[in-house]
Amino acid sequence: MDTTVAEIVLFDGFDELDAIGPFEVFKNGARAGADLETRLVTLEPTETVTASHGLRVEPDGVLGEPDLLVVPGGGWTSEDGGVRRVVNEGRLADAVAAHHERGGTLAAVCTGAMVLATADVLDGQPAITHQAALEDLSEYAEVTDARVVDDGDVLTAGGVTSGIDLALWYLERAFGESVATAVATEIEHERHESIVS
């Protein structure tokens, strides 16, 4: 069986926890037995990316063709914030659409769902995002009251910390409940039961 590759795509202004929460969960998942490689990537080569609270991150490389592509949120409510800016630019949405067309799985944390929405991959399907963007999301998707929404090849999660729950759910779905439980125990996270799949 081939190693599953998860890539978390970073951009200036992404919310730190939206990306680093799933990153840590996935890395711990690999230690717990999941055949999973996790990378932090960008659309274009760059030495560092600056997150919404000032954290500077050195990415592992550029976006490839992973099995799972995770899009963090951050900055939707600001005219020049991270997600708002990348949605306006359109390149990340194009990359998301291409990933989806190839048959890859997509996951969005928080307002990262707005990137998926503008990539036309939600198309009236159930989804969730941060409360500040629910009205905007409703123009593209069927807003669903849940911590994590799993629509098969597209997963979305609500607010900032929900990325941890999304990542744990993905581990359970892809590698079994024992792996997810081991990671939740390791990071001392009480899992939310509000998951729609």
- The mean predicted confidence, pLDDT, of the chain is 96
Per-residue pLDDT tens digits for 147-158: 999 999 999 999
pLDDT score at 1:
64
pLDDT score at 4:
98
Please name the residue that has the structure tokens 């020049």.
80
pLDDT score at 81:
87
Per-residue pLDDT tens digits for 114-154: 999 999 999 999 999 999 999 999 999 999 999 999 999 99
Q: Which two tokens stand for residue 117?
A: 């929405």
For residues 79-104, give the mean pLDDT: 95
Q: What are phi and psi of 107, to 5 degrees?
A: -140, 140
Does the pLDDT of residue 37 top 80, yes or no? Answer: yes
Q: Tell me which residue range forms the domain holding 9.
A: 4-196
- Considering its fold, how many domains does the chain have in total? 1
Does the pLDDT of residue 53 top 90, yes or no? Answer: yes
Does the pLDDT of residue 179 top 90, yes or no? Answer: yes
pLDDT score at 80:
84
Tell me the pairing of strands 154-157 and 148-150.
antiparallel
pLDDT score at 193:
77
% the chain with pLDDT above 70? 99
DSSP state letter for 3? P
Domain CATH number, residue 101:
3.40.50.880
Does the pLDDT of residue 194 top 80, yes or no? Answer: no
Contacts (Cβ under 8 Å, ≥6 apart) of 77: 84, 132, 133
pLDDT band at 7 (very low <50, low <70, confident <90, very high): very high
pLDDT band at 189 (very low <50, low <70, confident <90, very high): very high
Closest by Cα among 132, 144, 140, 195 to 166: 195
pLDDT score at 159:
86
